[in-house]
A and B are shown apart, each in its own frame.
Chain A
Amino acid sequence: MEKKTLFDKIWDAHVVSKIEGGPNQLYIDRHYLHEVTSPQAFAGMRERNLSVFRPERTTCSPDHNIPTLNQDKPISDPVSRNQVDTLMKNAKDFGLTVYGLLNPKNGIIHVIGPENGYTQPGMTIVCGDSHTSTHGAMGAVAFGIGTSEVEMVLASQCVLQPKPMKMRISVEGTLNKGVTAKDVALYIISKMTTGGATGYFVEFAGSAIRSLTMEGRMTLCNMSIEMGARGGMIAPDEVTFEYLKGREFAPQGEAWDKAVEEWKKLPTDEGAVFDKEVVFDASDIAPMITYGTNPGMGMAIDGNIPSLEDIDAAGQISFEKSLGYMNFAPGEKLIGKSIDYVFLGSCTNGRIEDFRAFANFVKGHKKADNVTAWLVPGSWNVEKAIRAEGIDKILEEAGFELRQPGCSACLAMNDDKIPAGKYAVSTSNRNFEGRQGPGARTMLASPLVAAAAAITGKITDPRDFM
């Protein structure tokens, strides 16, 4: 029998047809939708006088534009408000499930999908958002699409996609103290570069990946796009099943047992061939931080920024432009540098485990006076768990406040903008110029590195406290 990869098994089972010399017509099991990349798709549906083909397969949640304070009041920015209202109206007009502001199920779409059991192994999942790769952690083929493709899914439950190549990235061994899934992601991206996996769908494998919790796996898969990959995924196992069991929209009872039996057939067959294989040693990974303006520009937190000679000729202009923006010098260390903002949240690190890790770290310490900290849960469910576990009390005692859920400062579409020239240690996924606000200087890191920065007011190695 043909040996197949996890990716092949799921992709091939969803191909409705193959266009000769063209893309595959791929059936989509689950479609997530938010307010920013959907209005033009609904407008297109109206122009063509179409109804949604399979409304039960689409779930909507406004997340990008929403404020993280006073969500009970109307959104003050009229343009943001209009975009959120437009989503609510579109969902109603087209008969789609939507979790609007203050709905207990509202939150970042990539957080609420898994936590409500919508995301399941073996599915094809799309959303007009590149971080759809998050859902690959459950053993699904999940990837971001553009607005034209959102319209295709609404109209036909299919997209046209060339089948990507396959890459396996294995991380073997035991992770060091203070090293989280976020550090694994930043380390891999720093080695692969920001375009190193373009054209590929990546399966993460190896003992270090197996050892990650379900939420850690989501953090890792979330950032697959930052090395250019179409998506990232991890084979479902007991960790996956245990996470999913009993969640509202997961199969229940007999259907559950049957589903698990099927999901157990998904892992890559021994001997299946990938177009590319990369292996990393877990023991080489330290807590990471980025120093530049793309997620591939990362290093060990106690390391040095590369010097100009380390960069190939074609990349030197971009490298210098990047360091100029950050106001860092080639070759220097970041440890000890003063910072202004800390952001805990986003679809990368806005889940309950991230808040537990941050709270455990800051417990018994005080927030540094020079730091403004924005702690933004990924969903109301996460917020509820934070309160149920008493994490809010720990944070409060350490001088931190909790905000309301949303994408927030990850891309600063709401009021949570880092001011120009200020330094932010951010648990989000992108350090592009202006990503967190015009002129903002972002350093990506794990919740532990963010916590260490928040209590010391400067770039600090979290291992010094552990």
Chain B
Amino acid sequence: MREKFEKLTSTCVPLPIENVDTDQIIPARFLKATTREGFGDNLFRDWRYDKEGNKIDSFVLNNPAYSGNILVAGKNFGSGSSREHAAWAVAGYGFRAVVSSFFADIFKNNALNNCVLPVVVSEEFLQGIFDAVEADHSNTVTIDLPEQTITNNATGESEKFDINPYKKNCLMNGFDDIDYLLSKKSDIEAWEKNR
């Protein structure tokens, strides 16, 4: 049984960069593990640490002013490889939702399979969050999964977001796709016979 997702209010970590690819989220040299744990330590590794392993102060994850469970990123987040390690890194660091105006397909699936909610908002709404967080890093955002709304609490502005009802149900109840598919084994066998 996985963690359930319902309603989340949190401060945000802003990353106003477009096309953040999975090699930035988790570089390939950190993909050698055989478990799902520990990837959060290397989230955005090469933006977070220099070659000697020292923190790069200018990167947002190293700025103590910014914290929270919501990552807010520029357009086309998660492009590139299919590595689920990217979703494990985002989840492992402690993010429960990523907000952007656009996500790459595979990352979106991987996030949903790991109880990280990808929330697609309009460009204007995204900019509104960046502005609010820049003005005051203690400003919060509320994501309400049952209602499918996201609210910028600094401005009171709210937007509906899409999620397919099946995935919504999975997230709210902590089910996963494997549970579902295992329950369908006899249907699959019947389908194989008739194909």
Contacts and interface: CB of A to CB of B under 8 A. Distances in A.
B48 to A, nearest CB: 12
Contact of B105 (A64, A157, A230): A230
A199 B19 CA distance: 15
Contacts of B195: 13, 27
Contacts of A294: 19, 21, 79
B157 to A, nearest CB: 19
Interface in B66-110: 74-76, 79-85, 87, 102-106, 109-110
Contacts of A58: none
Interface in B86-138: 87, 102-106, 109-110, 113-114, 123
Interface in B14-59: 16-19, 21, 23-24, 27-29, 31-36, 46, 51
B182 interface: yes
Interface residues on B, range: 35 or more
Given A22-B164, A130-B81, A158 B28 contact: no
Contacts of B167: 22-23
A43 B34 contact: yes
Nearest to B191: A16
A43 to B, nearest CB: 7
B34 A82 contact: yes
B181 A430 contact: no
Interface string A154-170: 01111111101000000
Please classify the interface of chain A as helix (H, G, I), strand (E, B), loop, or mixed, using the class held by over half of its residues: loop
A434 B184 contact: no
Contact of B19 (A36, A82, A194, A420): A194
A373 to B, nearest CB: 22
Given A149-B109, A318-B74, A130 B80 contact: yes
B18 A21 contact: no
A191 B17 CA distance: 21
Given A130-B106, A195-B76, A434-B23, A19 B84 contact: no
Interface stretch (A140-148, A173-181, A450-458): A140-148
Contacts of A321: 17
Interface in A29-57: 36-37, 39-40, 43-44, 48, 50, 53
B82 A156 contact: no
A394 to B, nearest CB: 32
B184 A318 contact: no
B191 A27 contact: yes
Contact of A36 (B31, B123, B177, B187): B31
A64 B81 CA distance: 13
Contacts of B74: 314, 318
Given A22-B164, A199-B105, A314-B123, A155 B182 contact: yes
B188 A420 contact: no
A80 B185 CA distance: 35
A79 interface: yes
A398 interface: no
Contacts of B109: 145-146, 149, 161
B176 interface: yes
B81 A129 contact: yes
Given A146-B109, A148-B110, A152-B181, A83 B28 contact: no
Residue of B18, B24, B182 with most partner-chain A CB within 10 A:
B18
A128 B166 CA distance: 23
B164 A25 contact: no
A156 B188 contact: yes
B1 interface: no
A215 interface: no
B65 interface: no
Contacts of B28: 64, 411-413, 435
Nearest to A156: B181
A432 B32 contact: no
Nearest to B126: A314
A128 B82 contact: yes
Contacts of B64: none
A354 B36 CA distance: 37
A36 B32 contact: yes
The 3 closest A-B pairs by CB, nearest first: A22-B166, A21-B165, A144-B82
23 contacts: A27-B195, A37-B83, A83-B32, A132-B82, A148-B178, A152-B178, A155-B178, A155-B181, A155-B182, A160-B177, A161-B109, A162-B164, A164-B105, A195-B19, A228-B104, A294-B19, A411-B28, A413-B28, A413-B29, A413-B32, A433-B24, A434-B24, A435-B23
